[in-house]
Chains A and B, each alone.
Chain A
């Protein structure tokens, strides 16, 4: 908990009848941060966003924005603006009037207002589009209008509800870059809801992974990817190999485990306490594993298996290696460099190698 948190969500609950959509969630978001709420549909991420916007009231707990409690503040009085999932562009207004919609109360002169809109159209790279009607716009253009309409009010926080979900892949990737650049330009705190883990990793400063109304882990993208706290996070973000294991020794910063298929191996303890005999899981990313035809010289962190299956994917290849004592083959992802010792047409025995630092120990809690 930091003192200078810009948005502070404190022990917030939300019930819809008997369904608990949000279960005692606490999140602190800093000023100017690009923060993502990540989870599959129904995890409560959109409900949480709608509570920030004021469209839903928390059943319990309190939300503070810029130090002010938000419970009694209706949506139209909150210092936040939102980009809706389907953009919610006003179909009866043209682009200019859509963008200028929120300016009514500021009582600006006609010229000033016009300049602000033009400035916004420039920012979202749609100059000259002011007189277009809303139904003449493509999905990407609508998305930008929705952004401009919110940003012109200089909100303290911009909420984005899966704003890229309706776009095709190419446009989505382009908009991701633009969104990130835009956020740096305007310096507003962004709270971004998505179910797309890749999108969250690309865009965010920090991510809260949610499931069933709770935050599973709140971390930086690399923190989530490299050191997931539990199996759910580990399998939600990217691909992961899991091995059942038992703690066989604790040695300061390292923990020794007896892992199915891998044998007795060491792993970094990462500030967690382990008890000897405790059941844990070992997780290793496919790209942290390396395949070699011969036994490596420095033995100890390698194991022999047999290559079961392989797939060539262009820039990289995927291999599936069968290990003794494991039902599921282990996935290995390797970049296709010149002179790779194992090709996708290889079969038979191979050696699986990894570094100790790439091993993650997951406890059941």
Chain B
């Protein structure tokens, strides 16, 4: 196919628009790494010397490491659990005739649009009524609610992307539902599972509002950042920390999308018929 067919003809104004859009979207974020290497307490131009000292200082702070480990622990647990639940949900939604399927999917996706502060307050009220003490566990519960829609949304195209007959073929060749799942379904949706793990980990790791309401004495990393904002002298280190979080989030999400790139229906290799 030649690149100058009607539909593929380049459109200069639109290309320009796309570039401006991306700059407007990410320029503010890029100020964080920029100032994190600046040898000054204050965030203002002109920039001074280039320095790593804020990063070095960050690594020497005990509370940062504690908060980081809290966030990683919650992130891993939430990623594994919400992805596992997402697999079951996506399989049920795509494979079985469920009455009210559309409504069900709507309810699963609802946390994406309902303000988190509402979920946060609601969970806080419920947990305190039940007498559950706030801890990292309660934060994880809150994060599960947020992460499940991301997991389901990542996995549904994977499940829809492969032919039902492949699972039927497995049953026909003598495998029951359990073995069919592990020998056929799971390997086929595996890229989606990895993408879901990475995405849900990132979402949990970056989440603030739920953690704000539901964490006890142990802060997550975003909570720690929030706490440090009161101290101007800590600010450059916070910039350094934020820069690293951004970098890691980008890497995880892009890696997940790259692994899951075949999820679009018809793009699965070996399905050219």
Segment with Cβ contacts to B, from A1-9, A85-93, A233-241: A85-93
CA of A133 to CA of B272 in the docked complex: distance in angstroms? 14
1/0 contact string of B177-207 vs chain A (CB within 8 Å): 0011001100110000000000000000000
Neighbouring B residues of A363 by C-beta, 8 Å: none
Chain B proximity of A269: nearest CB distance (Å): 47
Chain B proximity of A272: nearest CB distance (Å): 42
Interface residues of B in 113-172 (CB under 8 A from A): 162-163, 165-166, 168-172
Decide: A91 and B174 in contact? CB cutoff 8 A: no
Decide: A76 and B175 in contact? CB cutoff 8 A: yes
Decide: B163 and A88 in contact? CB cutoff 8 A: yes
Contact (A82, B169) CB under 8 Å given A90-B184, A92-B187, A102-B174:
yes
Decide: A135 and B269 in contact? CB cutoff 8 A: yes
Contact (A149, B268) CB under 8 Å given A88-B165, A88-B166:
no
Contact (A104, B175) CB under 8 Å given A88-B163, A88-B165, A90-B184:
yes
Closest to B164 in A: A88
Looking at chain A's contact residues, the main secondary structure is: mixed
Chain B proximity of A19: nearest CB distance (Å): 15
Decide: A81 and B273 in contact? CB cutoff 8 A: no
Neighbouring A residues of B269 by C-beta, 8 Å: 91, 135
Chain B proximity of A360: nearest CB distance (Å): 40
Chain A proximity of B268: nearest CB distance (Å): 7
Chain B proximity of A212: nearest CB distance (Å): 25
1/0 contact string of A306-326 vs chain B (CB within 8 Å): 000000000000000000000
CA of A220 to CA of B176 in the docked complex: distance in angstroms? 37
In the assembled complex, A74 has its CB within 8 A of some CB on chain B: yes
In the assembled complex, A18 has its CB within 8 A of some CB on chain B: no
Interface residues of A in 159-176 (CB under 8 A from B): 166
Closest to A102 in B: B173
Closest to B170 in A: A101
1/0 contact string of A142-155 vs chain B (CB within 8 Å): 00000001100100
In the assembled complex, A273 has its CB within 8 A of some CB on chain B: no
Decide: A88 and B169 in contact? CB cutoff 8 A: yes
Decide: A74 and B273 in contact? CB cutoff 8 A: no
CA of A104 to CA of B179 in the docked complex: distance in angstroms? 10
Contact (A91, B188) CB under 8 Å given A84-B168, A84-B169:
yes
Chain A proximity of B92: nearest CB distance (Å): 19
Neighbouring B residues of A149 by C-beta, 8 Å: 169, 173
Neighbouring B residues of A54 by C-beta, 8 Å: 171
Neighbouring B residues of A53 by C-beta, 8 Å: 168, 172
9 further interface pairs, Cβ-Cβ under 8 Å (given A76-B176, A90-B169): A53-B172, A75-B172, A76-B175, A81-B173, A84-B165, A104-B174, A105-B174, A135-B270, A135-B272
User: What is B's interface to A at a CB cutoff of 8 Å?
Assistant: 162-163, 165-166, 168-176, 179-180, 183-184, 187-188, 268-273
A–B complex contacts, Cβ < 8 Å, 21 sampled: A53-B172, A76-B172, A76-B174, A76-B180, A81-B172, A81-B173, A84-B169, A88-B165, A88-B168, A90-B169, A90-B184, A91-B166, A92-B184, A101-B183, A102-B174, A104-B179, A135-B270, A149-B169, A150-B172, A153-B173, A153-B174
